[in-house]
Amino acid sequence: MEDQSPPTNGTNASPNPVELEDVRSPARLISQFFLFPLLIVVIGIAIFVLFGLIGSENKSAKDYLRELRTTQGMFQGNRRWQAACELSVILAKNQDPRLGPAIAPELIQLFNNSPKDDPRVRRYLVLALGRLGDPSAVPVLVRAIRDEDAETRVYAIYALGELGAQASVPDLIALYNTDDAGLRKIIVYVFGVLQDARALPTLKLALEDRQVDVQWNAALALARLHDASGLPMLRHVLDRQYLNTVKEMRDDQKEEVMVNAIKALSLLRDRASQPLLKTLSGRDPSLKVRDAAFEALRVIS
């Protein structure tokens, strides 16, 4: 449920007992069983839309760092934020474990020196920090979750998830009480990625959130933590009549939500949901939903 250009913070509205792989790129996130907050999908699509523009340049991460350093404080139109975006893409695809630690000090310095920069530059620098694979980026990202720019805060929380920064969980718990629904969604999502039991009380609280997709993400994140508190919500999401009451929700989004909920039920090995899954496997109009329900029944059995 997400985006095509740098995301905005006002939101609209992943059978085997899987060991889900760690998150290291938007593509892998999309393949996961978590329900994406709209903002995260926007981030991933934005990067890969731009990828076609950057693939032919064959520049290295250090080339983009040099470009960002030498143009610092100068008006460069779109070029500066595009360089930051391109750097984040390279780091997402990086296979060299030495690269992140090698460039971490300079990248951190660039971000620390960019408070008055184009917000887009800061957002993509935050994404790059999340892809370093270096724990030295964690304190910088924790500070960035309270940045003046709302979207930089979202990117920073997302980046903490990509970095697997469990040390950030107390800070994210403290931030959850925000009035910003977009932040609450991404926080709940990242709790599921980090799989830290300290987030359990906040996730259970989020099951009662006034924003419905915060509730959905909380139920999915709880399942990832092998906590069954979200079972009623997961079953509720499998009711198409209920989903039809959610305004502006497309059929493909309903299908995604249902498949994600089914996978969460299989992760929990919830035998009480077998009758519901049998009905879905035989009668749901979506082939993907039927296949997911059939596989979940196999796993639970």
Q: Which domain holds residue 188?
A: 26-225
Pairwise CA distance, residues 51 & 27, whole Å:
13
- pLDDT score at 79: 83
Q: Indicate the residue among 208, 225, 242 that finishes a domain.
A: 225
Question: Is residue 7 domain-resident?
Answer: no
Pairwise CA distance, residues 69 & 152, whole Å:
20
Q: Which helix (H) or strand (E) holds 55?
A: none
- pLDDT score at 15: 24
Look at the block and give the residue holding tokens 């090698």: 102
Q: Write down the pTM of the prediction.
A: 0.81
Percent above pLDDT 70 for the chain:
79
Q: Which amino acid appears at position 14 of this protein?
A: S
- pLDDT score at 265: 96
Q: Indicate the residue among 209, 225, 241 that finishes a domain.
A: 225
Per-residue model confidence as pLDDT tens digits over 221-279: 999 999 999 999 999 999 999 999 988 888 999 999 999 999 999 999 999 999 999 99
CATH at residue 142: 1.25.10.10
Tokens matching residue 173:
């718990």
Pairwise CA distance, residues 290 & 254, whole Å:
13
Q: What angle, rounded to 10 degrees, do the helices at 119-130 and 99-112 form?
A: 150
- 51 and 27 in contact (C-beta within 8 Å)? no
- 299 and 17 in contact (C-beta within 8 Å)? yes
- pLDDT score at 114: 87
Average pLDDT, the chain: 83
Question: Is residue 16 domain-resident?
Answer: no
The count of domains in the chain is 2
pLDDT at 122 over 80: yes
Kindly state whether residues 138 and 267 are assigned to the same domain: no
Q: Which amino acid appears at position 272 of this protein?
A: A
DSSP symbol at 197: G
